[in-house]
A and B are shown apart, each in its own frame.
Chain A
Amino acid sequence: MAARRIVDARGSFCPGPLMELIAAMKAAQVGDELEVLSTDKGSANDIPEWIHKVKHELIGTTEASGVWHIVVKKLK
């Protein structure tokens, strides 16, 4: 099973959760899953937007106690 890495971007305004994900994606292997933790509700939109555009896979988005968990998979 591929590794799942947590990208803890809670409280990150700059560089922000999407930038943290982009950096983590660069270090990940194809097939790895990354779970972004974000306290910015905008992440629920802008991370899927980027994932779609760059052609990785969005596994799912959930929210609990003000923290969004956005799971993505590196496809290339």
Chain B
Amino acid sequence: MRILIVGGGMGGTILANNLARRLAGEIRDGKVKLTMLSASDKHMYQPGLLYLAVGRMVPDDLYRDQRGLLEPGVEFHVDPVEEFRLDRNEVKTKGGKVHGYDILAIATGSRPMPEETPGLAENAEMFYTEESALKMFRRLQKFEGGKVVIAMGVPHKCPMAPLEIAFMLYDYFKDRGILDKTRIHYTYPIGRVHTLENVAKWAAPEMDRLGITYETLFNLKEVDGAKRIVKSEEGSETDYDLLITIPAHRGMEVIEKNNLGARGWIPTHRHRLNMEGRDNVYVLGDTTNLPISKAGSTAHFEAEALGENIAAIVKLGAPVRDYDGKVFCFIEAGKDRATYAMFDYQNPPQPRAPTRAVHWFKVAYNKLYWASARGLL
């Protein structure tokens, strides 16, 4: 049995390690071959980019060697896939190598697309890549006050990021002593300050308390950099001195080029996680088209369900459990308080008031992540 994992992010890595442990005997006996193909020999802790942008992490904190995160039973190649030949159960890599498979798992992730909104890439700061987060950090260092607008595209990775950056910027400006010269203005695409109703019920009064103003039903349409104005699809506009964006995302280009899914999102069964119409192709993490958060925890819980199921297919001939839509997201409410939201397809989150304890657990998780990627948490 040949199991091929394409993508070395959180979902692919947890799945690979999960399977390597569950199928250790089969791998040792040569009955199973477990292979991962990735575009990089480095693994990035993507949630750390938020902290990098406000000077609370440095780039070294974000990376580990990918090979070192993987169990010995995983054959790892830095050679990204260029062609998915699903009818022949094989892929072809950039290096020209063809890998056949019996089971394929696709976890290629997503990419920020600020260039899809006119004027956005040239005029806004963001924190979704190392380069952009460092640029935002340097811009913040030079900022001496004015109106800071937070605006976002849809869909975006990490749905808590808009709130987190708003609250973290508040503390950042406070610590720098320029809060009295700074106004934070938060915009959001739907009719409340967060898509999770219970999170919005907590966050709106918190913004009121801190003096963070907000405008809802504001979908980014274009940015006029000369006039420093952001315009919305709904017809409103707001001026800015510093524009921070959470840009719209798409799935990876290789998914679109191979016609696996519109805008790079692969149609995926919400419980079994197989690609629609393909029984031996599974999808996890940001790459799915599922109506759930594009977040590391989603990839984590999907990988655990998928690991159990693929191992069961090898050992029993059939999967044994459904993915229930579970997501767990920390929500930083500033530099020293946090809360969290946990939910699934059936149960909405019930977030509690932010505490220092949850913040410190999040800080600990920023380190524990590497154990999580190894499949130990």
Chain B residue numbers with a CB within 8 Å of A71 are none
A23/B154 in contact, CB under 8 A: yes
B309-326 contacts to A, CB under 8 A, are 325
Complex CA gap A20/B190 in Å reads 11
Chain B 136-173, CB-CB to A under 8 Å as 1, else 0, gives 00000000000000000011000100000000000000
Q: A15 contacts B154, CB within 8 Å?
A: yes
B 267-296 contacts with A by CB, 8 A = 270, 291-293
Picked from B291, B343, B344, the residue with its CB within 8 Å of the CB of A20 is B291
B residues in contact with A16, CB < 8 Å: 190, 195-196, 291
* B154 and A19 within 8 A (CB): yes
- Which chain A residues in 1-38 approach chain B with CB under 8 Å? 8-20, 22-23, 26-27
A11 neighbours in B (Cβ, 8 Å): 270, 291, 325, 344-346
Please tell me if the beta carbons of A8 and B291 are within 8 angstroms of each other in the complex. Answer: yes
Known: A19-B189, A46-B190, A54-B219. A14 touches B154 (CB 8 A): no
Report if A49 contacts B (CB, 8 A).
yes
Complex contacts, A55 vs chain B, CB 8 Å? 235
Q: In chain A, what residue has the closest Cβ to B197?
A: A42
17 example contacts (A-B, Cβ-Cβ < 8 A) are as follows A11-B344, A13-B196, A13-B343, A14-B293, A14-B341, A16-B195, A18-B189, A18-B190, A19-B154, A22-B190, A27-B263, A42-B197, A50-B191, A50-B217, A53-B235, A54-B219, A54-B233
Chain B residues contacting A18 (CB-CB under 8 Å) are 189-191, 195
Counting CB contacts under 8 A, is B248 at the interface? Answer: yes
A53 to B155, CA, bound (A): 20
Q: Is the CB of A22 within 8 A of B189?
A: yes
Give the dominant DSSP class at B's interface: loop
Closest 3 CB pairs of A and B: A11-B345, A12-B291, A16-B195
B327-358 vs A, Cβ < 8 Å mask (1 yes, 0 no): 10100000000000101111011000000000
Q: In the complex the two chains form, what is the Cα distance from A23 to B156 in whole Å? A: 9
Interface residues of A, dominant DSSP: helix
Chain B residues with CB under 8 Å of A14's CB are 159, 195-196, 292-293, 327, 329, 341, 343, 349
Kindly list chain B residues whose C-beta atoms are within 8 Å of the C-beta of A9: 291
Q: Is the CB of B248 within 8 A of A19?
A: no
Q: Separation in Å of the A26 CB from the closest CB of chain B?
A: 7
Chain B residue at minimal CB-CB distance from A50: B217
Give CA–CA (A11, B219) in the complex, Å.
23
Cβ A22 vs Cβ B219 within 8 A: yes
CA distance A43 to B298 in the complex (A): 23
Give the chain A neighbours of B263 by CB distance below 8 A: 27
Of all chain B residues, the one with the shortest Cβ separation from A49 is B191
Q: How far is the CA of A19 from the CA of B153 in the complex (A)?
A: 10
Q: Are B248 and A13 in contact (CB under 8 A)?
A: no
Complex alpha-carbon distance, A21 and B227, angstroms: 31
Interface assignment of B241: CB less than 8 Å from any CB of chain A: no
A8 CA / B292 CA spacing, docked (Å):
11
For B348, give its contact among A13, A20, A23, A26 (CB under 8 Å).
A13
- Mark contacts of A38-51 with chain B using CB atoms, 8 A cut-off: 1 yes-contact digit, 0 otherwise: 00001000100110
Besides the known contacts A23-B248, A50-B190, 17 further A-B residue pairs in the complex with CB atoms under 8 A apart = A9-B291, A11-B270, A14-B293, A14-B349, A15-B292, A16-B195, A19-B190, A20-B155, A22-B219, A26-B154, A26-B248, A46-B191, A53-B234, A54-B219, A54-B233, A54-B234, A55-B235
